[in-house]
């Protein structure tokens, strides 16, 4: 490939007499004369002081940009937004969380498209901005590498953010006092990095590595570490190599690559949000993927990693024994990964894993293939007369595989949380939180506050929870989310009443209420959608354009004609 072909996009912006104004502007931001003949690489950073997950990414962006320049391209750093799930959790602000995924993807696409970058490095450190980076990379389809910002170090007593949420429930139960709650609050978050268990951030970082869009172990490095800085430098070199080889995301993001990502997420015991985000990422990559693919793959892939929230260990402890690469090698050797998938190294997955060794013999974090934590997936897709279009349960097996109980209905996350803390919820209840779906919220909030309160109150084994909202990666217990059709569209979850008998059966992949079709039809005839206070702004736009959770909650603009 000649130099002009390497600058397929940037040459339109900087070549020729007529582009003198463009060059003049770029000189002011640091371009030298020789830079106009180099491929341009946009370095999209999600840095901000909004959240610990992203507070250090500006330094990582500079590391990546410096390595890109040294490799013979010209890097241009730009920023996009992020929001904090941990801070907004349990408040109306959480409605903006999933919405931000679309905003971030749109903004990266807009900047890269407008500036004519020939390649892209994206750096994400939190739940929504990571899938958003991949969505933008897939849309633009220019040589790209993703860099994960890294996981946080453990707080005192191996605490993390979920420890704080669960301490709130423990305080309500009277098992700790105000001073103990304050001590947890003050020590759980020691510095930069994403939440420390196999929650959504670490899940998505692992999935993106398995997809082939990040370098080896990018998902398994602490945020504050030399290995993470080296990862950024290697990414700068790798993106230039991809430009020279003409390798684009469409060469990497195949159906087989998405199957690899699902496999790794299951083996790690990852977040239910991975279902939502992988569906959305596949949509942008024009790859066919559905809920049923998670069931098909889940039937043969075991859960091997004993990681929080359901397990015992933190991401930092997995890093200490080698990260996810030895796990992927085990899965490859067992015939559970597609080894011929191309990656951002320019080599296949199998080639990348060829020299990877196994974990230390005395470690207890990752089980052997023959002794899994669960012999099939913890991510269970359920159907039934409550969720005719599907929903997603997180069943580690510790909660049991079947729960039957009486419905206790709440119309919002806040109402449910107050009900749990006020002892309205009793053993044997199935908590139903509705009108929290993509359109109903709008925004499909995460239910970490209620699930953590359940755990803190000591009800984790005694109640279940179903919702048309979603869950934080930190949620655990007998929980079922992403119920479709959602309540705001008149789905069956909107028709449930207090005291209805609900059965959740992971073996049969069913979630049902003990009502016949006649009764459900009669209730549907009486149902009226509650009024929404959201009438304008981004939430209203999102509600108008968002698709079902079973489709990844992607936004699709209405069709129009000239």
> Percent helix, strand, coil in the chain (nearest 5)?
45, 15, 45
d(CA 411, CA 435): 6
Taken in order 229, 330, 53, 68, the sign of the CA dihedral is positive
Q: Is 472 a catalytic residue?
A: yes
Element (H, E) at 147: strand 144-148
**Residue of 355, 368, 356, 359 whose CA lies nearest to 321:** 359
- Written as one string, the DSSP assignment of 507-559 is TTTEEEES--HHHHHHHHHH--PPP-S--SHHHHHHHHHB--GGGTS-B-PPP
Please name every residue paired with 502 in a beta bridge, in sequence order, or none if there are none.
Answer: 405, 513
The neighbouring-strand residues paired with 303 are 374
| Rounded Cα gap, residues 374 and 560, in angstroms | 48
- Say if residues 240 and 119 touch (Cβ distance below 8 Å): yes
Q: Which of 299, 257, 304, 300 is nearest to 278 (CA)?
A: 257
Burial state string for 321-355 with b = 16 or more CB within 10 A and e = fewer than 16: bbbbbbbbbbbbeeebbbbebbbbbeebbeebbee
- Residue 314 is classified by DSSP as -
Q: From 256, 299, 239, select the one nearest 71 (Cα to Cα).
A: 239
Looking up tokens 């470690």 gives 363
Which residues on neighbouring strands pair with residue 380, listed in sequence order? 393
Q: Where are the alpha helices (DSSP H) in 116-198?
A: 129-140, 161-173, 178-187
H/E element, 121: strand 119-124
d(CA 267, CA 262): 9
Catalytic, out of 144, 472, 475, 548: 472
Beta strands in 361-520 (DSSP E): 379-382, 391-394, 402-410, 429-433, 464-467, 478-481, 501-505, 510-513
The residues annotated with a catalytic role in the active site are: 472
């Amino acid at each position: 490939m000649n130099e002009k072909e390497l600058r397929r996009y940037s040459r339109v912006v900087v070549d020729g007499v007529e582009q003198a104004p463009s060059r003049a502007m770029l000189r002011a931001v640091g371009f030298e004369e020789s830079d106009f003949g180099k491929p341009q690489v946009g370095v999209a950073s999600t840095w901000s002081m909004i959240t610990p997950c992203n507070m250090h990414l500006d330094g990582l962006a500079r590391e990546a940009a410096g390595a890109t320049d040294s490799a013979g391209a010209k890097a241009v750093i730009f920023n996009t937004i992020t929001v904090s799930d941990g801070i907004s959790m349990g408040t109306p602000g959480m409605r903006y969380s999933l919405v931000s995924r679309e905003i971030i993807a749109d903004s990266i696409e807009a900047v890269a498209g407008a500036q004519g970058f020939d390649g892209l490095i994206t750096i994400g450190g939190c739940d929504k901005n990571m899938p958003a980076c991949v969505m933008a990379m897939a849309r633009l389809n220019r040589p790209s590498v993703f860099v994960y910002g890294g996981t946080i170090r453990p707080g005192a007593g191996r605490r993390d953010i979920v420890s704080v949420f669960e301490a709130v429930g423990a305080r309500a139960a009277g098992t700790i006092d105000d001073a103990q709650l304050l001590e947890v609050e003050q020590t759980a978050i020691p510095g930069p990095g994403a939440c420390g268990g196999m929650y959504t951030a670490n899940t998505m970082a692992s999935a993106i590595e398995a997809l082939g869009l990040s370098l080896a172990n990018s998902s398994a490095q602490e945020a504050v570490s030399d290995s993470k800085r080296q990862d950024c430098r290697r990414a700068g070199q790798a993106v230039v190599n991809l430009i020279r080889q003409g390798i684009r995301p469409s060469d990497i993001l195949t159906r087989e690559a998405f199957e690899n990502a699902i496999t790794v997420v299951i083996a790690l015991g990852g977040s239910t949000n991975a279902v939502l985000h992988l569906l959305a990422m596949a949509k942008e990559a024009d790859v066919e993927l559905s809920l049923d693919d998670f069931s098909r793959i889940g039937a043969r892939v075991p859960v091997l990693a004993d990681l929080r929230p359901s397990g015992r260990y933190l991401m930092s402890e997995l890093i200490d024994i080698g990260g996810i690469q030895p796990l992927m090698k085990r899965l490859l050797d067992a015939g559970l990964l597609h080894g011929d998938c191309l990656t951002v190294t320019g080599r296949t997955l199998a080639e990348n894993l060829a020299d990877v060794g196994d974990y230390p013999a005395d470690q207890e974090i990752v089980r052997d293939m023959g002794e899994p934590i669960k012999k099939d997936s913890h991510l269970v897709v359920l159907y039934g007369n409550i969720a005719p279009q599907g929903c997603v349960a997180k069943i580690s097996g510790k909660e049991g595989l079947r729960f039957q109980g009486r419905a206790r209905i709440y119309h919002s996350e806040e109402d449910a949380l107050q009900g749990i803390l006020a002892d309205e919820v009793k053993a044997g209840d199935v908590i139903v939180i509705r009108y929290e779906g993509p359109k109903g919220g709008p925004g499909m909030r995460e239910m970490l506050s209620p699930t953590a309160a359940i755990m803190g109150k000591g009800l984790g084994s005694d109640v279940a929870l179903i919702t048309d909202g979603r869950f934080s990666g930190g949620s655990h217990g007998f929980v079922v989310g992403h119920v479709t059709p959602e309540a705001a569209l008149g789905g069956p979850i909107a028709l449930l009443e207090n005291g209805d008998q609900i059965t959740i059966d992971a073996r049969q992949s069913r979630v049902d209420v003990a009502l016949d079709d006649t009764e459900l039809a009669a209730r549907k005839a009486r149902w009226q959608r509650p009024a929404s206070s959201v009438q304008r702004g981004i939430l209203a736009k999102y509600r108008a354009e968002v698709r079902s959770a079973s489709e990844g909650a992607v936004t699709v603009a209405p069709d129009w004609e000239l």
